[in-house]
Amino acid sequence: MSNLYKGVGYGVVAYQIMQEIYEQSVREGKGPEEIAAAIDAAYPWKNRGRSHRYRRWLDARREFFEQHKLPGLRPRQTLKNAVKELGNDKP
């Protein structure tokens, strides 16, 4: 794994971790579900929840999973549609 915290943002570190796991999993012949599970299990920092590190992990995860067509992403919802669902479509 790359050197952590040497002027590199958490999102970049997260993406690098995911890339390493993806490449290793492909070499081992794992399927998309197994690769996604391995990436999810590789979260490197202690806290999740609403921490800054976890949010950057999720940002990197979404980009990585979309790029590699991995399962496990919830569909994106626009803010406009979220407001409509709440019934508050007026500002």
45 touches 54 (CB < 8 A): yes
pLDDT tens digits for range 37-82: 999 999 999 988 888 999 999 999 999 999 999 999 987 778 888 7
Which pLDDT belongs to residue 7? 63
d(CA 58, CA 26): 22
d(CA 50, CA 33): 26
* CA separation, residue 66 to residues 62, 76, 84 (Å): 6, 11, 26
What is the band of 2 on the pLDDT scale with cuts at 50, 70, 90?
A: very low
Which pLDDT belongs to residue 65? 96
Predicted confidence (pLDDT) at residue 1 exceeds the cutoff of 50: no
d(CA 65, CA 77): 17
35 touches 56 (CB < 8 A): no
Q: Six-digit token pair at 61?
A: 């995860």
Domain boundaries defined on the chain: 10-86
More confident residue, 25 or 83: 25
